[in-house]
Amino acid sequence: MPAPQHSTIQLSPSSQIFVDNRATTLGAWVIAGFFDAILLGVVLCQTSSFFKSYRNQSGIGRHYRWLVLVVVFLCVLKTSQAIGIVWVQNVHDFANPDVAQTLVAKAWYQVSAPTMTGIIAVIVQSFFTMRFYMLLRNLWACIPIVISMMLSFAGVCLSLNSIVIGDAKAKVMWLLVHLVCTFCTDFMITVGTCLALRNRNSGGLASTASLINRLLRLVFESAIPPTIAAGIDLIMTQTLGQKHLLWHLVFNFALSKLYAISLLYTLNCINEYRKTQAMSGGLSSSGSRGVSHGRSVKRGDVELGNLRKTEQVFVQTQIVTHISPSQGSIEVITFF
């Protein structure tokens, strides 16, 4: 068997650099697509769980099904994009590095990869911002979050435009704006929701305090993964240098799926809690805004049942609590 010999193909200097650094120029896209595909499996499993436990709801909840369908469709599209990028680079243009090296700056399906992540991020962040508003009922507290979210989306769109026109300096600047604002949006939603829940936990009711503590855990469980991924993505873009910059795509690709997982995890927790409360038979009547319309009846669209009254208290008191086990609204109304 003859000994292997080096290729005799003559490469241009830029193509030679591209081939010599293939662990970054090609490997980063492969690893990013690999993790993206794995996380898509998690998204699809959670989507299946959502539709199995979903029941018709009133108010804003009736739109959650369409929200999930849109996010899942975008996740599948993003994974298809990742597969297409890897296929073209490593199969279609395997023996043509002169073309493969230009795809990162010219191919529309490749330069738009961060934009797809930005679209999914802004949809999920809008959902959690809405839940934060329903909890706090303070429009002014939501304005900084909305501004940061819009700046993040504008940054990723302008970064895409900078790539198309070949302005590398502007691309780096707008990508930085996008990543900083994405992290700030996640941070403000998480911290704001936790503080709002803590402020609500001041009535001294054991049942309410227990449920609020449960919600705080849910907030951290759903918000921490995308927030950490966004932070690492930001750090990598500023510390890796031009030679290894593409490795930030591993976290950027994963970030889109982590947002979807965060959304689906929250909605599945809501559905599971409603199912548990419906089976226990201790639900209270409530309107779409959490206001009681009468005596307690069994309904499956309310997340918290009646609190039991102590037999030794001779003042007749009815407490109706409406709570959404996400970053949702909590309203406690007491009748004497």
Neighbours of 176 (CB within 10 A): 15
The pLDDT assigned to 95 comes to 66
CATH number for region 13-280: 1.20.1070
E strand or H helix at 88: none
The pLDDT assigned to 203 comes to 59
The pLDDT assigned to 240 comes to 84
Q: Domain limits of the chain?
A: 13-280
Give 198 or 297, the one with higher predicted confidence.
198
Exposed/middle/buried for residue 130 (C-beta within 10 Å: 0-12, 13-18, 19+): middle
The pLDDT assigned to 331 comes to 46
Residues 6+ apart with CB under 8 A from 304: 207, 211, 277, 284, 321, 322, 323
Q: What digits encode the pLDDT tens for the residues 256-280?
A: 999 999 999 998 888 887 777 777 6
Q: Report the SS3 class of residue 214.
A: helix
Instruction: For residue 296, give the nearest of 282, 281, 285, 307 by alpha carbon.
Output: 285
Q: What digits encode the pLDDT tens for the residues 90-127?
A: 887 776 777 777 777 777 888 888 899 999 999 999 99
